[in-house]
Structure 1
Amino acid sequence: MIESNQNPPLLRDYTQLLHESRDKVDVKRLVNHEPGMEECELPLVDLSGLWGENEEDRVSCASEICKASSEWGFFQIVNHGINLELLRKMRKEQVELFKASFERKTADGLLDNSYRWGNRTATCPKQLSWCEAFHVPLTKISDDTCYGEFDSLREVMQEYASAMQELAKSISKVLVTNMGVQQGVWEDNCDASTCFIRLNRYPPCPISPEVFGLVPHTDSDFLTILHQDEHVGGLQLMKDSKWVAVKPNTNALVVNIGDLFQAWSNDVYKSVEHKVIVNQEAERHSIAYFLCPSYESFIGCCEEERSIYRRFTFGEYRSQIQQDVKTFGHKVGLPRFLAST
């Protein structure tokens, strides 16, 4: 397969690694397309009840959000208040952006130099990520100098980021209130300066049984809102100790709990391991919004007297993850921050 001018040189860089690993690794253990993979429909929450004036509907909707966050760590939302036309425009702009040549995407200054691809430190197939992405901080979305010739992307992305930010805060308010904490106290931890949007593209992969689109991981934030590809699936999550495939829902957004909410809630809400598999023939796009605190914010527990985790800052958590990835090739995450027994 000859890589197009738009694709990063994933195949070129990974081919040697894959061949070298075949004698050392049982490739069958790395296959993403497991036989008989169960396809699941995530809990579906209609947020119209949350916006309405009926108290019973609001309570019922909030209960569904909290139950899904505790039992699944993932759920889908419809009637979420984000205009579907905005979602379509954002997807169109995203597709056009990724059509640019690899050389243009890596050019100095484009979207705050946020372009990244693959995993250049991978040493074995299970650490490979067959993807490219723009990891854009919210603080840079309004910067006109970041967009170059992609001028139409700026206005759409600004509107998209603002809408996602409000939606994320609304959902987090429900989760915080459920734990008996006043929203105003918790909001002090949130800071738009560390929130970001990640535009993902997973190119077709001719060796897809051996490569992940995104390696298994949990999210290192409070919560994530994902706008999935409407047609091409690929998201899988761990449920009851087995991987299940998430069926795409054209009209829904996906919400998942991050590590910080799990720690803050004392394991009431679950940050669940998930991954992306790639397709041999079709590309896949997705957009994720990550709600994060400031780096100096302490992630304490809402039940400090019997906290599972010690207090830590978001900056400390990020630093530990980077160190572990460098040392072990993967994130360790919350087990690093368990309270002393």
Structure 2
Amino acid sequence: MISGDHESMDPDPPFETAYEELFATYDDATSGSPAAAVVEEQELPVIDLSPLMSREGDLRSSAACKKQITEASKKWGLFQVINHGIPDEILGEMREEQIKLMRKPFTVKNNDWGPPSPERIYRWGTPGAKRLDQVSWMEAFHLQLGDHNHIFRNNYTLWSTVEKFAGGAHALALKLAAVLAEELGHPAAGGRYFEEQCGRSSCYLRLNRYPPCPKYGACGVCGIVPHTDSDFLTVLHQDDIGGLQLVNGGDRKWAAVKPVRGALIINVGDLFQAWSNDVYRSVEHRVVTDVEKERFSTAYFLCPSSDTVIPSTVYHSFTFGDFRKQVENDVATYGTKIGLPMFLPNSSSIT
């Protein structure tokens, strides 16, 4: 096979070519790897949701489960759940279909699903990165549910699997959101606030792949750069490779999240932090690269419609559309997301 044929079949995006100037700056770097900064492998709370999922669960067990959820959301902003209601068969099917999709040649993925537009389906790297530590060594299919089923109309198995996974993740996210609202004594507690504001059509599913990074991990290149999620809640299914890390405490030290087979990771997002007036924590997290192994994850983002107002006494009230626009402006101006601090009363001090 000639070189050109090999390149045309390569599933990996052309990271080195796209960021050649940035990589040249760090060519001789021997330190600064995110992995080197890890303090420890952290066993986050693993919460058994059986009492919430069973109609026969007793009140005491249910109350204890809810307390675990709220305490983990306050302390960590990220926790793992088992007996979550999504069958292992669906998780396995989703991963199989995701791998098959990601194995397609980069040229096919980019040409068929990656037109340069704000709502492009296929994305890779970090457009507009100004420094090497702003580059994400990843590719992803970013799907707004309800809008893109026609994109995969020739692959019914893939789309039906996406629908099954998304349906289970959506139900789980709504249940957890209701628990968190109840703890706050929020007017939305016990009502249909999240069901009404966060319909399936406003939520997103992201299929992630992190290719091996044998050369540039020591330069500080992440699979995905440090960030917080911009939604209410994220439901994440990751593989056994590991690589997910979060900020552990106020000292800005990073800790690795130990994978638990069959568990899902729940991540509190920016909207819930603002909505709860900072009671719940939208934790900063990242994914580090692996020298030899690729990594897969599937994330479901519980999002409201763009015109939904997020009330807060800590931040200026804003709509989800306002927030997304501000994030886009942050990235264009600073090369990275700033997020909630831009909505603080003294946000004008940020330059």
Q: Same fold (TM over 0.5)?
A: yes
Over the aligned positions, Cα root-mean-square deviation in angstroms equals 2.2
CA contact (8 A) 1:235 1:275 kept: yes
One-letter identity of the residue aligned with 2:268: I
Helix, strand or coil for the counterpart of 1:87?
A: helix
Equivalent residue for 1:114, pick from 107, 115, 121: 121
Of 254-263 and 49-58, the range deviating more from structure 2: 49-58
User: Does residue 168 of structure 2 align to residue 168 of structure 1?
Assistant: no
Give the drift of 1:179.
Answer: 0.8
Instruction: Give the residue type in structure 2 aligned to 1:178.
Output: E
The residue aligned with 1:233 is: 242
What's 2:228 paired with? 218
Displacement after TM superposition at 1:295 (Å): 0.6
Which residue of structure 2 aligns with residue 304 of structure 1? none
Cα offset, 1:189, TM superposition:
2.8
Question: 2:69 is matched with which residue: 56, 61, 65?
Answer: 65
What is the distance in 2 between the residues matched to 1:170 and 1:194?
17
For 2:114 and 2:169, the matched residues in 1 are separated by: 22
Q: 1:59 to 1:175 in 2, by over 3 A?
A: same
Per-residue CA deviation, residues 20-43 of structure 1 (Å, 9 max, x unaligned), is 3569xx873x42121663101111
| Contact 1:18 1:124 (C-alpha < 8 Å) held by counterparts | no
TM-superposed CA distance for 1:110, in Å, is 8.0
Helix, strand or coil for the counterpart of 1:197? strand
Alpha-carbon offset, residue 339 of structure 1: 3.5
**Superposition deviation, residue 308 in structure 1:** 1.0
Q: How much does 1:51 deviate?
A: 2.2
Q: Give the partner amino acid of 1:239.
A: N
Q: What is the CA deviation profile of residues 170-208 of structure 1, one whole-angstrom value per residue up to 9, with x for unaligned ones?
A: 110100111112342532332332210000000011222
Shift of residue 243, structure 1, vs aligned partner: 0.2
Aligned to 1:44: 46
- What corresponds to 2:316 in structure 1? 310
* 1:268 pairs with 2:279: yes
State the SS of the aligned residue for 2:245: strand
Equivalent position to 1:18, from 10, 23, 44: 23
Aligned equivalent of 1:133, options 127, 133, 140: 140
Does the residue aligned with 1:37 lie in a helix, a strand or coil?
strand
The answer to whether the 8 Å contact 1:192/1:293 transfers is no
Give the structure 1 partner of residue 206 of structure 2: 198
Tell me what 1:251 maps to: 262
Say whether residues 1:292 and 2:303 are aligned partners: yes
CA offsets 1:129-155 (integer angstroms, 9 cap, x no match): 0000000011135x2x31154331011
Report the identity percentage: 44
Residues 199-220 of structure 1: CA deviation (Å, up to 9, x unaligned)? 0000011222221100000000
Between 173-182 and 3-12, the greater mean CA deviation after superposition: 3-12
Which SS does the other structure have where 1:170 is aligned? helix
User: How far off its partner does 1:324 sit?
Assistant: 1.1
Deviation at 1:340, TM superposition (A): 6.1
1:37-67 superposed Cα distances (whole Å, 9 cap, x missing partner): 3101111100001123300011000000000
Q: 1:36 to 1:278 in 2, by over 3 A?
A: closer
Pair 109,327 (structure 1): closer, same or farther in 2 beyond 3 Å? closer
Give distance in 2, aligned partners of 1:323 and 1:7.
28
Cα gap change, 1:36 to 1:73, in 2 (>3 Å): closer
Gaps of 5+ in 1: 302-306
Match of 1:279 among 277, 290, 296: 290
- Check 1:108–1:39 CA distance in 2 against 1; reply closer, same or farther (3 A cut): same
Per-residue displacement from partner, 1:249-273 (whole Å, max 9, x unpaired)? 1110000100000000011000000
Which string of whole-angstrom CA distances, capped at 9 and with x for unpartnered residues, describes residues 271-303 of structure 1?
0000000101000000000001111010003xx
Equivalent residue for 1:328, pick from 328, 334, 339: 334
Q: Secondary structure at 1:136's aligned position in 2?
A: strand
Residue of structure 2 aligned with 1:78, choices 82, 85, 91: 82
Code of the aligned partner of 1:244: A
| Count of residue correspondences | 330
Q: Which range moves more in the overlay, 264-273 or 200-209?
A: 200-209
Residues 153 and 159, structure 2, Cα contact 8 Å, conserved in 1: no
1:152 and 2:157 matched:
yes
Alignment TM-score, normalising by the size of structure 2:
0.89
